[in-house]
């Protein structure tokens, strides 16, 4: 059985109280005249309470769920509905660490406990990671934030010496597992802030576009995928002078000094070098490509093939040296002359 404790700071006193002060009608005109973002607000009705400097704390079974503060709030008892303006909400995980959410409006029902926030939303996670959007809902029983796909979400944060940025249409955040799920039209950018000489195998920036991405923030791993199985619909990875396409990809954005590989592309991998001034373009295909952290190399496996000018080579493994232009083939088993295929 769930035990709910509600702590609410209310002014004025209930209207049905014998000593209650009945506010003048002009006091409630503010709710009707200002634009309302939250749907389903009975703004033409007279609320039972009009509360300035509103504060509310929701606790279930002795555990904090969330707390809200607002410049102004309106309570509609017939609907068990509270509508608040200029809000700051504090969402608590199982360790009672606070995720801060600010927005123009908030709405919740006393008998449901789910919280909705609207307009100019800024979310700040306990480690400083931030995201912006126009709408979110919070489900305290699951400790989950949800943003529908019709809303654009932008996020940024730092892990070690790296900056991570993303945009996505729709998002889910599991607070207990510390996972961010980007739902549609995903773009993730990784920028390396440390000097380039420390990790020459990692370019200064990497951008990845996909249909879906799961960011596992405890392990600093971002997993990218596409919803369709069509060969034409692939994850696209853009780096300085390099374009990669594949069906799936894993990006490790942790401290590069502890990594052997920071990026792996899987299934129908297609790699193209985009510089073309003094040397012919090089292409490579395979089932998997591993991007080395310490050396500026790419290891291609699972039936790899490499193309340069009119030449094609295959082997068990192909090692592309991006700096020198050298291609190494392990157990080369074929060589041919022909045009590369995109």
Q: What pLDDT score was predicted for residue 223?
A: 98
Round to whole Å and give the CA distance between 114 and 30: 26
Report residue 25's pLDDT band, with 50, 70 and 90 as the boundaries: very low
Instruction: Please say if the pLDDT value at position 340 is more than 80.
Output: no
Averaged pLDDT, 315-329: 85
Instruction: Please say if the pLDDT value at position 199 is more than 60.
Output: yes
Q: What pLDDT score was predicted for residue 112?
A: 84
- Nearest to 51, CA basis, from 34, 32, 31, 36: 31
- Nearest to 117, CA basis, from 96, 129, 133, 93: 133
Residue that wins the pLDDT comparison between 285 and 111: 285
Q: What pLDDT score was predicted for residue 62?
A: 81
Averaged pLDDT, 323-342: 67
Averaged pLDDT, 212-226: 95
pTM, 2 dp: 0.84
Instruction: Please say if the pLDDT value at position 6 is more than 60.
Output: no
pLDDT tens string 124-149: 998 889 999 999 999 999 999 999 99
Round to whole Å and give the CA distance between 171 and 153: 7
pLDDT tens string 290-307: 999 988 899 999 999 988
Round to whole Å and give the CA distance between 189 and 168: 12
Report residue 31's pLDDT band, with 50, 70 and 90 as the boundaries: low
Residue that wins the pLDDT comparison between 74 and 30: 74
The secondary structure of 205-264 as a DSSP string is EEEEEESEEEEETTTTEEEEE-S---TT--EEEEETTEEEEESEEEEE-S-GGG-SEEEE
Q: What pLDDT score was predicted for residue 137?
A: 97
Under CATH, domain 142-342 is a member of which superfamily? Answer: Lipopolysaccharide (LPS) transport protein A like domain (2.60.450.10)
Domain locations along the chain: 1-126, 142-342
Round to whole Å and give the CA distance between 233 and 208: 14
Q: What pLDDT score was predicted for residue 299?
A: 95
Q: What pLDDT score was predicted for residue 309?
A: 73
Q: What pLDDT score was predicted for residue 335?
A: 59
Round to whole Å and give the CA distance between 144 and 172: 7
Instruction: Please say if the pLDDT value at position 16 is more than 70.
Output: no
Helices (H), the chain: 29-33
Instruction: Please say if the pLDDT value at position 172 is more than 90.
Output: yes
Residue that wins the pLDDT comparison between 315 and 250: 250
Round to whole Å and give the CA distance between 115 and 110: 10
Q: Are 222 and 214 in contact (CB under 8 A)?
A: yes
Averaged pLDDT, 262-280: 83
60-64, 75-79, 249-253: which range is least confident on average? 60-64
Q: What pLDDT score was predicted for residue 277?
A: 56
Residue that wins the pLDDT comparison between 147 and 198: 147
């Amino acid at each position: 059985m769930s035990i709910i404790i509600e702590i609410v700071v209310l002014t004025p006193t209930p209207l049905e109280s014998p000593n209650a002060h009945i506010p003048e009608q002009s006091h409630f005109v503010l709710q009707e005249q200002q634009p309302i973002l939250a749907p389903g607000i009975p703004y033409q009705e007279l609320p039972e309470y009009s509360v300035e400097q509103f504060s509310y704390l929701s606790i279930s079974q002795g555990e904090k769920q969330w707390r809200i503060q607002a410049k102004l709030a309106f309570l509609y008892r017939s609907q068990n509905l509270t509508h608040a303006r200029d809000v700051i909400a504090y969402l608590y995980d199982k360790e009672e660490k606070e995720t801060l959410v600010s927005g123009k409006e908030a709405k919740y029902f006393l008998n449901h406990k789910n919280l909705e926030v609207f307009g100019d939303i800024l979310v700040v996670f306990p480690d400083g990671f931030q995201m912006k959007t126009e709408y979110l809902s919070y489900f305290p029983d699951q400790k989950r934030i949800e943003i529908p796909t019709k809303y654009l979400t932008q996020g940024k944060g730092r892990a070690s010496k790296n900056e991570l940025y993303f945009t996505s249409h729709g998002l889910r955040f599991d607070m207990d597992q510390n996972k961010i799920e980007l739902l549609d039209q995903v773009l993730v950018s990784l920028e390396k802030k440390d000097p380039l000489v420390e990790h020459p195998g990692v370019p200064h920036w990497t951008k990845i576009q996909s249909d879906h991405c799961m960011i596992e923030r405890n392990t600093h791993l971002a997993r990218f995928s596409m919803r369709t199985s069509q060969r034409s619909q692939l994850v696209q990875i853009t780096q300085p002078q390099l374009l990669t396409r594949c069906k799936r990809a894993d990006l490790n954005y942790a401290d590069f000094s502890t990594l052997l590989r920071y990026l792996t592309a899987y299934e129908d991998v297609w790699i193209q070098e985009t510089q073309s001034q003094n040397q012919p373009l090089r292409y490579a295909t395979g089932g998997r490509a591993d991007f080395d952290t310490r050396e500026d190399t790419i290891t291609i496996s699972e039936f790899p093939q490499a193309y340069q000018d009119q030449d094609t080579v295959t082997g068990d493994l192909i090692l592309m040296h991006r700096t020198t232009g050298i291609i190494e083939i392990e157990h080369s088993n074929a060589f041919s002359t022909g045009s590369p295929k995109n």
